[in-house]
């Protein structure tokens, strides 16, 4: 297990963590100023700033891009919309390539409007991934399926366990792996087993950290800073590193009532301190 | 699959569904008045009315008791507290026997205060169940482990999938099974497989229904009436009945902002209508 006690290079900031008070250009500058080694930008922020400008600024700042947020959202009620979703994912691959991202994160999507059949949604996810994988391979852009917590099964992602994500990867072949976010998977009794399985095929493409607060007041925007909740983050990091992962630790915190209200410089300082002490 | 289109006998009302406006005696009367076939009372309500009085009233009303809520909550930070929790579970077995309940539902508990190690909590759950199982067997009271949704892993139950619950049952032997609540398990890609597995050992002791609302505004008290959310309830009922389950369908809805505010007679009418049309 790597010693992060004085590290900032292996820390990556998911831009959502401070996006309420800084635009993407400010976030890139902030990462560089604090010595943070990487960033994970979102497509809407990139579009707002301009893709080429962002790519150049990230390059000039010397940041790694630990992941690009995000592709996915495949299910839809009509074939036309599913085709549009696939087309949009191809553009996300292009953007990820331009940004030099280490992977394109896939939040796969939930039930299409008005539908209840999860097995249909899951089949549409398989179809969507299959439709973009060759293009991603040709562009050397790894796809990282991020299993989301089961509480998001209906509306955000119908891939809800690491096992389920790895089963998809095994069906698809090379060029695809998983993003392990402790918030989504910490509860899973099969977590160590499935992390080890992923390691055997070098399928762990990203590692995301934040914390699970008790109580959690909002299902989407009440994530905690590492150390403020109940997740054994360093135990999980130990598992992913024992499985061969040597990439960055990406901090991604949605926190409407706490961290999003603080000054981003203070948030980044806290991220660094917690990265060095509890991750 | 049973035809419930004119049924009320196979419907059971979990008393929590209307507990904000009726006491337990009123709830028993209400079930009898509406022709509902069963009830699932909670320990605090029973204590408030008096155990023997409640048992007699339920018997006089001709209601089945589909489950008693609840045992469990085993983990604790001290051995003395864990012993007290076990002792309390033995009393819950006694009460369930007096009430003629078909099972004692176990909500196993989450992390003990200040602790983060889920594997410790899970071991304490195993130890707690093992400590009460002989007594439950001797009193012919089946124990029904209810796996709760992973969003409750920290604070309510660290048993979060049907597979995990069945693995415990297999370690423990006879006298113990599971309560399948659609709210907790609907998202699980292994659900049909694990229901079939449970069926092979006659381990499905209870079937609970409500619905998952999109969006869900509160993690605990925003459950939906059957048909108002996204769960394919009848598909899951078909699975449990194909696995041999022939008990009641217990409606359990925690709904602070909607159903708890309505008149209980109206709630019961809706439960019956949805039981006959969407369960």
DSSP category for residue B149 = P
Cis amide leading into A70 (omega within 30): yes
Q: Which tokens sit at B253?
A: 């809805």
Range list of β-strands (E), chain B: 11-14, 38-40, 64-65, 68-72, 104-107, 143-145, 176-181, 204-209, 249-251
pLDDT at A77: 97
Q: What is the largest CA-CA distance in chain B?
A: 51
H helices then E strands: how many in chain B?
10, 9
pLDDT in tens, B121-154: 999 999 999 999 999 999 999 999 999 999 999 9
- Please count the residue pairs, one from chain A and one from chain B, whose beta carbons lie less than 8 angstroms apart: 71
Q: Do B188 and A231 touch (CB under 8 A)?
A: no
What average pLDDT does the segment B48-62 reach? 98
Asked whether the beta carbons of A258 and A217 are under 8 A apart, the reply is: no
Matching residue, tokens 């579009």: A47
Asked whether the beta carbons of B58 and B100 are under 8 A apart, the reply is: yes
pLDDT at B204: 98
Instruction: Give the span between the Cα atoms of A275 and A4, in whole angstroms.
Output: 7
Query: Which band of pLDDT confidence, cut at 50, 70 and 90, is reported for residue B9?
Result: very high
What average pLDDT does the segment A122-140 reach? 98
Let me know if residue B90 belongs to a domain: yes
Instruction: Give the span between the Cα atoms of A237 and A242, in whole angstroms.
Output: 8
Q: Which tokens sit at A198?
A: 């992923």
Q: Do B189 and A150 touch (CB under 8 A)?
A: no
**Cα B132 versus chain centre, distance:** 18
Q: Is the ipTM of this complex over 0.85?
A: yes
**Cα B212 versus chain centre, distance:** 16
What average pLDDT does the segment B10-36 reach? 98
pLDDT in tens, B97-114: 999 999 999 999 999 998
CATH code, A184: 3.20.20.150
Query: Which band of pLDDT confidence, cut at 50, 70 and 90, is reported for residue A161?
Result: very high
pLDDT at B115: 94
Find the CB nearest A230 among B111, B149, B232: B111
Instruction: Give the span between the Cα atoms of A123 and A135, in whole angstroms.
Output: 20
Cα→Cα distances A116→A76, A157, B41, B121, B238, Å: 12, 13, 31, 34, 16
pLDDT at A243: 98
Provide the number of structural domains found in chain B. 1
SS3 B69: strand
Let me know if residue B6 belongs to a domain: no
pLDDT at A234: 98
Helix (H) or strand (E) holding A104: strand A104-107
Query: Which band of pLDDT confidence, cut at 50, 70 and 90, is reported for residue A270?
Result: very high
* Distance between B232 CA and the closest CA of chain A, angstroms: 6
Let me know if residue A37 belongs to a domain: yes
Instruction: Give the span between the Cα atoms of A40 and A31, in whole angstroms.
Output: 11
Cis amide leading into A192 (omega within 30): no
pLDDT at A83: 98
* Distance between A131 CA and the closest CA of chain B, angstroms: 22
Asked whether the beta carbons of A210 and A224 are under 8 A apart, the reply is: yes
**Bridge partner list, A128:** none
pLDDT at A244: 98
Q: Which tokens sit at A175?
A: 């060029």
H helices then E strands: how many in chain A?
10, 9
> Nearest-CA neighbor of A71 among A141, A119, A174?
A141
Mutation pick from A117, A168, A187 vs chain B, by most beta carbons of B within 10 Å, is: A187
pLDDT in tens, A14-72: 999 999 999 999 999 999 999 999 999 999 999 999 999 999 999 999 999 999 999 99
Instruction: Give the span between the Cα atoms of A255 and A14, in whole angstroms.
Output: 13
pLDDT at A267: 98
Q: Do B189 and A215 touch (CB under 8 A)?
A: no
- Give chain A's contact residues with B (Cβ, < 8 Å): 111, 116-118, 122, 149-151, 153-155, 158, 160-161, 164, 186-189, 212, 214-216, 219, 230-232
Instruction: Give the span between the Cα atoms of B232 and A40, in whole angstroms.
Output: 36
Q: Where are the alpha helices (H) located in A64-113, listed in sequence order?
A: 79-99
Asked whether the beta carbons of B39 and B58 are under 8 A apart, the reply is: yes
Query: Which band of pLDDT confidence, cut at 50, 70 and 90, is reported for residue B182?
Result: very high
Share of chain B above pLDDT 90, in %: 100
Query: Which band of pLDDT confidence, cut at 50, 70 and 90, is reported for residue B87?
Result: very high
DSSP category for residue B224 = B
Identify the domain containing residue A59 by its residue range.
11-277
Residues of chain B positioned with their CB less than 8 A from the CB of A151: 149-151, 216, 219
Backbone angles phi, psi at B222, to 5 degrees: -130, 45
Mutation pick from B154, B159, B185, B211 vs chain A, by most beta carbons of A within 10 Å, is: B154
**Mean pLDDT computed over every residue of chain A:** 98
Cα→Cα distances A139→A94, A125, A143, B14, B109, Å: 8, 21, 11, 56, 48
pLDDT in tens, B249-258: 999 999 999 9
Instruction: Give the span between the Cα atoms of B233 and A237, in whole angstroms.
Output: 38
* Distance between B241 CA and the closest CA of chain A, angstroms: 19
Let me know if residue B63 belongs to a domain: yes
**Nearest chain A residue to B163, by CA:** A189
Residues 6+ apart with CB under 8 A from A136: A93, A104, A142, A143, A175, A176
What average pLDDT does the segment A175-183 reach? 98
Residues 6+ apart with CB under 8 A from A258: none
Burial of A26 (0-12, 13-18, 19+ CB in 10 A): middle
What average pLDDT does the segment B244-252 reach? 98
Find the CB nearest B214 among A149, A155, A214: A155
Let me know if residue A5 belongs to a domain: no
pLDDT at B47: 98
Alpha-carbon torsion angle A25, A28, A32, A37, nearest 10: -170
Let me know if residue B5 belongs to a domain: no
Let me know if residue A4 belongs to a domain: no
> Nearest-CA neighbor of B185 among B194, B172, B196?
B194
Asked whether the beta carbons of B145 and B159 are under 8 A apart, the reply is: yes
**Mean pLDDT computed over every residue of chain B:** 98
DSSP category for residue B117 = -
Let me know if residue B163 belongs to a domain: yes
DSSP category for residue A256 = T
Mutation pick from A154, A228, A238, A239 vs chain B, by most beta carbons of B within 10 Å, is: A154
């Amino acid at each position: 297990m790597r010693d992060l006690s004085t590290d900032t290079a292996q820390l990556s900031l998911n831009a959502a963590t401070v996006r309420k008070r800084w635009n993407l250009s400010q976030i890139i500058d902030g990462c560089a100023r604090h010595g943070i080694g990487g960033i994970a930008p979102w497509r809407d922020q990139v579009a707002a700033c301009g893709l080429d400008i962002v790519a150049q600024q990230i390059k000039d700042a010397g940041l790694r891009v630990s992941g690009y947020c995000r592709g996915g959202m495949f299910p839809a009620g009509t074939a036309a919309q599913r085709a549009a979703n696939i087309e949009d994912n191809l553009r996300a691959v292009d953007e990820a390539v331009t940004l030099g991202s280490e992977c394109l994160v896939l939040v796969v999507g939930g039930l299409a409007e008005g539908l209840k059949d999860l097995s249909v949604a899951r089949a549409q996810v398989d179809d969507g991934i299959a439709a973009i994988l060759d293009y991603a391979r040709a562009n050397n852009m790894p796809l990282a399926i991020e299993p989301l917590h089961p509480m998001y099964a209906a509306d955000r992602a119908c891939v809800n366990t690491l096992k389920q994500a790895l089963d998809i990867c095994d069906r698809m072949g090379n060029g695809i792996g998983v993003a392990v976010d402790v918030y989504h998977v910490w509860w899973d009794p099969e977590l160590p087993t499935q992390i080890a399985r992923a390691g055997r095929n070098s399928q762990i493409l990203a590692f995301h950290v934040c914390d699970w607060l008790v109580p959690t007041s909002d299902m989407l925007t009440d994530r905690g800073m590492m150390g403020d909740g109940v997740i054994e983050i360093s135990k999980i990091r130990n598992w992913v590193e024992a499985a061969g992962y040597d990439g960055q630790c990406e901090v991604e915190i949605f926190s409407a009532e706490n961290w999003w209200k603080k000054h981003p410089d203070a948030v980044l300082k806290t991220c660094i301190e917690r990265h060095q002490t509890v991750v």
